[in-house]
Amino acid sequence: MYPRSFEYLAATSLDEALAALADNPDAKVMTGGMSLIPLMKLRLFSPSLVVDIGRVPGLDAIDDAGDHLAIGALVRHATTASSEAVQSGAAALAQAAALTGDVQVRNRGTTCGALAHADIAADQTAAALALGATMVARSSSGERTIAADDFFVDTLTSALQPDEILVEVRVPKTGAGSGSAYGKLGRRGGQSDYAVAGAAAVVTMDGGSVAAARVALTGVGTKPSLAAGVAEALVGTDGSEAAVAAAAARATEGVTVLEDLYGSEEYKAHLAQVYAGRAVTAAMAAAS
């Protein structure tokens, strides 16, 4: 199917792109187009204007800011996956980026684009949540920051306003004694494609016990979600196999599990527990 007619602007500066969004409330921003174009072809999105920021300079870098990594709006999935800074400081995000789509998608799509798209089964959304990332949004009226906990509102809905662009995601770096990990089951039975269920975890160990933890799910509910019950049950334990299993059993507490073509509610809830447990175990191993 072909998309409905639309106007196209290849912005050459961020100010030009923001001005176009301010003047066109139903415009959509495009970086790689890996999510937007398919939805336009299905006519699920029919913007009157597409603002392409792919030529805007200064948005394609990963900067080490000391306590966090700043990933620009035009950083490709493949770049996030292969970055030594991300692999060492935010491993869950690098792993999620490496499992995003196929080779073409990873070399064209962007990390910030995937986060802004807020797909219920995207990989890097769970990693951003677990790592406690902060989104930096900019409009013609200024800049604001949005915590990942507040960013994913509903299916394909983020906290971004129509006139805002996600220009950067700031990801806290895991320090000594902490580790992170991401894993999933893909829709084609392996690890490619969107997640049937996936989980990211960040764990901090102290003296042989779990001092802190954050776990997030994707592919399971109406939006990427924190699995608060897992973290609550895990903190204070010795991180044994039994402790991890007991914590993972709480993976879908407070999550509206969705049945779809890829699994029943029961199956997806089971997968959420499996992958939450695996992510926690891998994060603890990385922490040590």
Dihedral of CA atoms 255, 199, 77, 69 in degrees, nearest 10, equals: 90
Tell me the backbone φ, ψ of residue 166, rounded to 5 degrees: -80, 105
How far is 269 from 167, CA to CA, in rounded Å? Answer: 34
Domains 1-173 and 178-287 share a fold: no
Please give the CATH topology (third level) of the domain spanning 1-173. Answer: 3.30.465
Tell me the backbone φ, ψ of residue 153, rounded to 5 degrees: -90, -45
How far is 214 from 131, CA to CA, in rounded Å? Answer: 7
Closest CA to 82 of 106, 105, 102, 66: 106
Q: What is the pLDDT of residue 19?
A: 98
At 280, the amino acid letter reads V
Q: What is the pLDDT of residue 193?
A: 82
CATH architecture classification, 178-287: 2-Layer Sandwich (3.30)
Cβ(71)–Cβ(83) under 8 Å? no
**Mean pLDDT in order along the chain per 10 residues (288 residues):** 92 98 96 92 94 97 97 98 98 97 94 96 97 98 98 96 98 97 88 88 96 98 97 98 98 96 96 98 96
Closest CA to 236 of 212, 201, 203: 212
Q: Residue 133, Cα to own-chain centre: how many angstroms?
A: 9
All structural domains of the chain with their residue ranges: 1-173, 178-287
Q: What is the pLDDT of residue 288?
A: 86
Q: What is the pLDDT of residue 214?
A: 98
Q: What is the pLDDT of residue 191?
A: 63
Give this prediction's pTM.
0.96
